Amino acid sequence: MNKLNLKIEIDINSGFCFGVTNAINKAENILRQNHELFCLGELVHNEEEIKRLQYQGLKIIHNDELINIKNTKVLFRAHGEPPESYKLAKKNNNEIIDASCPTILKIQKLIKEAYQNNENIFIYGKHNHPEIIGLTGQVNNKAVVFEDINELKLSKLPPKLTLFSQTTKDINRFYEIVDFLKQKGIDVKVQNTICKKVYHRQKDLMDFAENHDKIILVAGKNSSNGKVLYNECKKINSHSYFISSVKEIKKAWFEKNDSVGICGATSTPMWLMKNVGKFLSTF
């Protein structure tokens, strides 16, 4: 059988952002010494990377389990945590390994200031996303979170509000929401809290998607950033495919001599994208 002779390129700008890299480095440093580390929630929204870290001794716990974790080390991931998590971990005599992303910490400070100024806080983001839980926790959960503008009842909106965003949301959609609210006569104080690195990576990825016949975007099923980037790729290149592991790839997607671009989310490890490239080279 003739090989497809695929021309494969991995996007060098894809892969872990600083916050995720920092969190994983901290986890691995401790695991090398202790061979065990508790992590509050999934360290990264990527199933394959989680498996790799669990093999080294990482133990994922959920918020309701933190009450039973005592006298050990607990890692707080890049997404950030609400104040209650810090209080409970310290109360149980745990050492907190804080890997909260500096960008997230700045946003938490901003939202806290808005709350202290009695501003009506609205957040464009995914319900129950860990980053959102960390943000709303700063303001005693007195913030309105919405994923779609249709969730909001315009007749019940305050005349003036402050709008934040989850860091990995689509910036174009964010400003569409701003414009829509302003057109309805609402005074919107805009806090563009979308991560600048995520935004610039999104722009770069559009060029990458345009330069290949097929695009394979590798991301965890729960990755918000992955879904945003995939949708953007799909707009540019209709032959874009979202996968979480090599097992999901189908040979039928490709034709002989296709140029294939492999890219990923801010939570996608480079080793996984390289594995995808190796697998495609066997076709």
- pLDDT tens digits along 87-111: 999 999 999 999 999 999 999 999 9
pLDDT band for position 188 (50/70/90)? very high
| Total domains present in the chain | 3
Q: Is residue 1, in this structure, part of any structural domain at all?
A: no
Q: Is residue 136, in this structure, part of any structural domain at all?
A: yes
**Domain match, 111 and 74 both:** no
**Domain match, 37 and 61 both:** yes
**Domain match, 91 and 76 both:** yes
pLDDT value at residue 200: 86
DSSP letter assigned to residue 239: S
Tell which of 141, 161, 194 closes a domain: 194
Question: Active-site positions?
Answer: 131
pLDDT value at residue 2: 62
What average pLDDT does this structure show over 233-262? 97
pLDDT > 90: what percent of the chain? 93
Q: Is residue 113, in this structure, part of any structural domain at all?
A: yes
Q: What is the CATH number of the domain that holds 153?
A: 3.40.1010.20
Backbone φ and ψ for 9, nearest 5 degrees, come out as -135, 130
Backbone φ and ψ for 142, nearest 5 degrees, come out as -95, 65
Could you report the per-residue pLDDT of 19-72, keeping only the tens digit for each?
Answer: 999 999 999 999 999 999 999 999 999 999 999 999 999 999 999 999 999 999
- Residues 6 or more apart whose CB falls under 8 angstroms from that of 47 comprise 220, 221, 244, 245
**Residue matched to tokens 């076709």:** 283
What average pLDDT does this structure show over 124-151? 96
**Domain match, 93 and 113 both:** no
**Domain match, 121 and 93 both:** no
Could you report the per-residue pLDDT of 110-121, keeping only the tens digit for each?
Answer: 999 999 999 999
114 touches 143 (CB < 8 A): no
* DSSP secondary structure letters along 78-131: TT---HHHHHHHHHTTPEEEE---HHHHHHHHHHHHHHHTT--EEEES-TT-HH
Tell which of 100, 122, 145 closes a domain: 100
Q: Is residue 238, in this structure, part of any structural domain at all?
A: yes
Between CA 79 and CA 133 the distance in angstroms is: 9
pLDDT value at residue 203: 85
Tokens read off for 153: 């009842």
Q: Is residue 180, in this structure, part of any structural domain at all?
A: yes
What average pLDDT does this structure show over 272-279? 97
Between CA 156 and CA 9 the distance in angstroms is: 50
Q: What residue numbers bound the domain in which 113 lies?
A: 103-194
Check whether 136 has a pLDDT greater than 60.
yes
**Domain match, 176 and 163 both:** yes
Rounded to 10 deg, the angle between the 18-34 and 102-116 helix axes is 120
pLDDT value at residue 263: 97
Between CA 2 and CA 191 the distance in angstroms is: 55
Tell which of 100, 128, 150 closes a domain: 100
The model's pTM is 0.90
Q: Is residue 2, in this structure, part of any structural domain at all?
A: no
pLDDT band for position 201 (50/70/90)? confident
Q: What is the CATH number of the domain that holds 54?
A: 3.40.50.11270
